[in-house]
Structure 1
Amino acid sequence: MNKNEEFAGVTVLFARQPIYDRQHQLAGCELLFRPCPRTEALTEPFDGDLATRQVLRNAFAHTDIRTVCEQTPAYINFTANALKAEIPFDPGDIVIEILETVEANDEVITAIEDYKTRGYTIALDDYRLKSANHPLLALADIVKLDYPQYSAEEFTSLVTELRHHYPHLTLLAEKIETQEDFLSCRQAGCDLFQGYYLARPSKVERERLPSEHFALLQLLAELNRIDANAKELAKTIDNDAFLKRELLNVVNSDYYSCRDKMTSASMAIDALGVRRVRNLASMLALSKLDDAPHSLQRLALNRGQLCQGLADHLGGEPISGFTVGLFSILGAFFKSSLEDIFDNLPLPAVLKEAILEQRGIMGLMLATTLQLEQGNLDDLDWPALAEYGLSPDKVSQAQQRAVENSDAFL
């Protein structure tokens, strides 16, 4: 059996790591892949040289790569061997990331020059040198600087040197974990930023949440009450003028194509269902926060949809996966710890335990969502997932569905 045949019938899991520009706008996504047999997870790490082309094709058998990356380029790792294979995507769809382990020999240089001639963008991954002397810099369009490997002085000095010798380069700071990291790299002169800093709260010293934030949190809690019926949900929405207006604008849009014009939350619930309206209303409520970047809202939406997609395979649960995913990221929206936020809200214990301690079945769904979100594909707890009937194939299906739902949600 050759390698393409070996991977022709497997499930492919992927993770997206967003890349942002200086204004927090999405500028691309790094895509990570792991092929899994349909019956059980791989027991050995994925060798990046194995059937790259076939794996990529399988990953996007049902969802195109532009949709997965929200209409931005996909950054994909390439080994020296992978550079020899034909790429099944157009130049505008992907950025070829040359791994740091690739030796700059004549064969590799020839391959890169050929791709550049055909219009592909080339990035150097995990740049850790202290100076601008990498042999492939002249061929690169983007350099991904491994930020944690440098002191503040070393990083600024390297950026300055790269700018001087290779002014055409786009400089991307990767592994940015905090807002402080982002600000430091932006000040140094970087153009793009990759990491999880948007999902973590900024350090803000204050004694209590502002009153408008507290009111918004109470609204979110009311929208996501476990015991709320359709009538109560409709009343909560109709009592908030902003939320009612925005919800009706969305449900009356061409996307939903409702036969009759919706004039109340009750009508929207009848047409779309309680869960869909609750999820939509929760995201619209968060849009009240003027200082929350749009990319953070998208990240919250993606997390909620993926957590819900996984939970859909479990049958009826008292709390929705979307609520668990959404509430797990509220700290970044309100610039406060989740513990402080939850102390102010009448939330059910099962929701708090799932988010704060990742306990219970919904805690497992959130933990799986976060592992997928962060690219920790080798750390998924397959034995625990199997206990609830979640095979690699079902997890992959949840990923694909979450991407499609998120793309149409807002």
Structure 2
Amino acid sequence: MDIFLARQAIYNTENEVVAYELLFRNSNSNSFAGDVNEEKATIKLISNCATIGLSNLTNGKRAFINFPKGVLLKDIICLLEREEIVVEILENVNPTYEILTYLMELKNRKYIIALDDVVIDYRYKEFGALIDIYKIDFVATTKSERVIILNEIRKINPQGQLLAEKVETKEDYKEALKNNYLYFQGYYFSKPTMISAKDIAVRNVSCFNIMVELLSPDFDVDKIEKTIKSDVAISYKLIKFLNSASFSFVQKIRSIKQSIALLGKKDLAKWLSLVVISEMQNSNAEYTNNTIIRARFCELIAKEAKSSKESLVFMVGLFSNLDVFMNRSMKDIIVEIPLEEEAKDALLGCENDLSGILNLVKAYEKMDMKKVEEYSDKLNIDKKGLINIYIESIEWLNCLTKNF
């Protein structure tokens, strides 16, 4: 799978590149697709940056990244180093109490905040002194309007810095220099440059490494936090999931470490297993969903059989198609996963309690009723109740997918 983004240089008064604005692209066409949701575009952009490497994209300079309201209030910014980015507030984000409170938090955390597409309206005034850099649109404003805007900014926020954006002529540049703008961006200097990369190998390896770390007997919270934060999309889903109505935490989730502590090792490993499998590229949505349903089905059957191995058999069910997802033999994969030997044996087809449950689930999926009866008898459970357990597994998946 190819991933795309664009970057446009930002210059200082010495015509040196001091930063880049990173722009979402979903094809090799160097333009923003208007039918793409802004929130999804930002998440995808950040995910692509993580895949390629932010410092590689910007040559070690700061990255201006656009943030719509929805992503701001999810505090995705906490996943990004403050020394590497400028938080660019989109033009359609209104200065509500909720937004202003959050921006104050960002300021306290030493993030740099820029306001995008400043034009002659009330909006920029209500952000007060929270803005570090004002990006003034030279296409959407007249020269006289820009004079008014500058005078207002100097009244409300004398420390605010000015960035002239959409500078397209030499006259625009001269005007900006004369009025003490510090930064410049636009076609007069350079157009956005397309960047593309391959994502399949990186994504699958990343997901696999996360699962290996989660299953390690030496569960190091700091190491897990770092591993999760290396994939912004997964980190976002985790925070969004824990902030959902499914949990009754008094405080909102504000960090990956806090998420890990609140969810706990067992449930965290299970939830991340679902997300990781979902992120694998060599599968379609239906196949992925069926794998997740299989894992839950295995777990619930273990519970019905009064087994103490519910969590382990969940992993067995979830990993039962890992050879397909990873495009490798199960025998090779098993060597690299620190699962209990009993689980490894089950995945390799050896007979034990776990493989008995997995075999029952596979037989039920194929509606091989002869084998369903055989395995049900071995587990001492009523095969007539399997339909209800299967429906419960589907409903569980439906409930989960509402939250990520």
TM-score (norm: length of structure 1): 0.42
TM-score, scaled to structure 2 = 0.43
Structure (1 or 2) with the greater helix fraction: 2
Identify the structure with bigger relative contact order (alpha carbons < 8 Å, sequence gap 6+): 1
Q: Whose radius of gyration is greater, 1 or 2?
A: 2
